[in-house]
Structure 1
Amino acid sequence: MNKEIKNIFVQGAITPDFISDSIAKHSVKKNIGAHSIFLGQIREDVIDDRTVRAIEYTTYEEMALEKMHEIREDIFSKYELTCMHVYHSLGTVNAGEICLFVFTSSRHRKVAMDACDELVERIKSELQIWGKEIFNDETHQWKVNN
C-alpha cells in the first residue's frame, strides 16, 4: 500500500471542534463498526516546586513525517483498518489542551482499539518530537517521555 506521506502536524493545540468534526466526517462511512480515539492532554505537573503551564513542541518535520509514514504503513498491514488519522501539535500547547489526537476506525472494536494502542506507543517511542516544559516562573526544561 503506497500512500502519500501525510502531514500530521498542526500549529498549537488540537481543538475540540477539530476533533468533533473529524468524528462527524466518518458517519458517511457505513462499513465502520468501531472507532478508537486517544487524546493526549498537557498535564499541569509540578516538578521541583515549579508548575508546568505549557509544552513547546518541536521536530525535524521531514524526518518525523517519513518515520510516521513507515509506522502508518506497518499498522495498516498488521490491522484491518478502514481509517487512521494522527495529529500532533507543534509550537506551544497550554496545560489542559490537547496535543495528540489518534483516531483509528475498523469493522470491529478490538481491531480499532489494538491498532490505536500500538500506534500511540510507537508515536511516543519512535517519532522524534521534542517537548520543552515551560513553567509558571518562565523557566523551562526538556521533557522526558513516559
Structure 2
Amino acid sequence: MSENILIEGPVSQAVILNGLDGFNQYPDAGGISIFIGKVRNDVVSGKYVQAIEYSAYEALVIKEAEKIFSSVKEEFPEVKLIKVFHSVGIVNAGEISMAAIVAAIHRDQAMQACKKIVELVKVKLPIWKKEIYTDLTYMWKQDNLA
C-alpha cells in the first residue's frame, strides 16, 4: 500500500494520474477524494520562500504510513484504498510536494479520511523541511495541524 510514498523532486501530474489506476478494482467505491499540496512562496521575515528541500527516513516513513493508513481505515470503515505521494529533495514554490488519494463507498468518508491522512502525514511521518529563501538563506520548518 505504501511502497511508493516518497518521490524524488516534485510530485508530477503523471504520478497522481497513475495513482488513480488501482481505484478501478473497487466498483463499490462511489467517492474518491484527492488532496494536492504545493509549496507556497510565503514571505518569512521579509524573504520569499523559493523552494523547500525535503529529507526523510525512508524505512520509518513506510512503517509509520502503514500505521496511519490502518488507523484511518479503522476510523472510516468505508475506505477501500489509500495512496499518498510525498516529495523528497528540492521542490520549488508552485510545484506539488504531496498528494493523497482516498476511495470510499461514500464521498463523505472519502473526504474526511483524506483530510485526516493529510494531517497525520504532516505531523507523524519523519519528513523534514528546509525552507530555502530567494536570498539563498534557509530555515528548518516544523509542521503543525494549522
The alignment's TM-score, normalised by the length of structure 1, stands at 0.89
- Which 5+ residue runs of structure 2 have no aligned equivalent? none
2:81 to 80, 83, 87: 83
SS for the counterpart of 2:20 is: helix
Between the two proteins, the alignment pairs up a number of residues equal to: 143
Name the residue aligned to 2:45: 48
Tell me, in whole angstroms, the C-alpha distance in 2 between the residues paired with 1:126 and 1:91.
19
Name the residue aligned to 1:143: 141
Question: Quick one: structure 1 residues 5 and 105, their matched pair in 2 at CA, closer, same or farther if it must change by over 3 Å?
Answer: closer
2:57 to 60, 63, 76: 60
SS for the counterpart of 1:73 is: helix
Cα drift, residue 22 of structure 1: 2.6
The alignment's TM-score, normalised by the length of structure 2, stands at 0.89
Mapping 1:109-128, distance limit 5 Å: 109-128=107-126
Cα drift, residue 50 of structure 1: 1.2
Q: What is the aligned-residue RMSD (CA, Å)?
A: 1.7
Cα drift, residue 5 of structure 1: 5.4
1:14 to 11, 16, 32: 11
- Which 5+ residue runs of structure 1 have no aligned equivalent? none
What letter corresponds to residue 124 of structure 1 in structure 2? K
Cα drift, residue 45 of structure 1: 0.8
Contact 1:6-1:69 at 8 Å conserved across structures: no
Tell me, in whole angstroms, the C-alpha distance in 1 between the residues paired with 2:19 and 2:115.
19
SS for the counterpart of 2:68 is: helix
Measured against aligned partners, the alpha-carbon deviations of 1:108-146 in whole angstroms (never above 9, x if no partner) come to: 001101111111111112112110001111111101324
What letter corresponds to residue 18 of structure 1 in structure 2? V
